Amino acid sequence: MQDERSLLNYFVLTFAISWLVFIPTFLAWIGISTPISGDGYNGFASFFSTFGPLIAALILLGRFGGRRAAWALIKCGFDFRMKPIILAAAFLVPIALAWVAVALVSATGIDELPGSMVPPDLGYPAIIWLIPAFLSMMIFGGGQEEFGWRGYAQRPMQSRLGFVWGSLLLGAIWGLWHLPLWIIPGDPHIYIPFLVFVIFTMAFSVQMLWLFELSGFKLSVPWIMHGVQNTVLVVLPVYRLDAEGPQLGLYLYVGLNIAVAALIAVFRTRR
């Protein structure tokens, strides 16, 4: 089990790997031009940074436990031996919360959300487009972070701080880690208030730990949930891509996630 020093080393290394690549982006943001700034570089930086949590975990596990320990982390993501209902919940919880939020916004008219980003003229069933989209989200689009966040850091944090505080703190760190995305021109995150985003990652972290724990700590669960979460927002966008007034649809969506996380926390602590 990772000790406190190992956890601190993990977070420092993760942030260093993911944030240092944004130095040219930051310099451009404050008005200092560099030869490698621009949209192309920003796209590369955003892509590479998502591997920071995984790379940091593999480096530390390899250093202290050798290749076998590092490989064990990867294999853990492909262990699906759990109750089918847990696996189903990993898919359905993020989908259900986004669907309810979009349905409520549509019914109340409190906001005007954009439509699905799935191309309308595919010429074949949308599911055929969504399956590779989901797999790409798992492997390249953020899901791979879970080998670090939940795979390396979550259980030792839970053993020290308990279920609620361990998941909330990791969720806050996870949210803070995304900060460089707010200095990239045109990135969709710039339309989300940063504090609201961090609150969401904290609530979602509670949800993921709950199912992660119920599965017997099978890393495939948070890996799937993260991939589904990033994919479903392509199909059911919960915030506008503009700065015209408050993001009421987003606030509703985050509120639903907070409510679910609170119910989980109450249920889990009374168990």
User: Residue 117: what pLDDT?
Assistant: 87
Residue 129 maps to a domain: yes
Residue 263 maps to a domain: yes
Residue 246 maps to a domain: yes
Confidence of residue 3 (pLDDT cuts 50, 70, 90): low
Confidence of residue 2 (pLDDT cuts 50, 70, 90): low
Question: Quick check: 55 and 186 in contact, CB under 8 A?
Answer: no
Does 61 score more than 80 pLDDT?
A: yes
Q: What's the number of domains the chain is made of? A: 1
Confidence of residue 1 (pLDDT cuts 50, 70, 90): very low
Residue 146 maps to a domain: yes
Interval 188-207 mean pLDDT: 97
Q: Which residue has the higher pLDDT, 120 or 44?
A: 44
Does 149 score more than 50 pLDDT?
A: yes
Question: Quick check: 240 and 114 in contact, CB under 8 A?
Answer: yes
Residue 197: CA count within 13 A, CB half-sphere: 18
Mean pLDDT of the chain: 94
Residue 31 maps to a domain: no
Residue 159 maps to a domain: yes
Does 137 score more than 70 pLDDT?
A: yes
- Which residue, chain included where needed, has tokens 């609150």? 199
Is residue 51 helix, strand or coil?
coil
Per the structure, the complete domain to which residue 215 belongs is given by 82-270
Does 219 score more than 60 pLDDT?
A: yes
Interval 93-97 mean pLDDT: 98
Confidence of residue 4 (pLDDT cuts 50, 70, 90): low
- Angle of helix 155-177 relative to helix 248-270, nearest 10 degrees, comes to 170
Residues 6+ apart with CB under 8 A from 211: 86, 89, 90, 93, 221, 222, 225
Residue 65 maps to a domain: no
Interval 193-201 mean pLDDT: 98
CA dist list (Å): 124 to 91, 141, 235: 23, 24, 16
Residue 56 maps to a domain: no
Is residue 216 helix, strand or coil?
coil
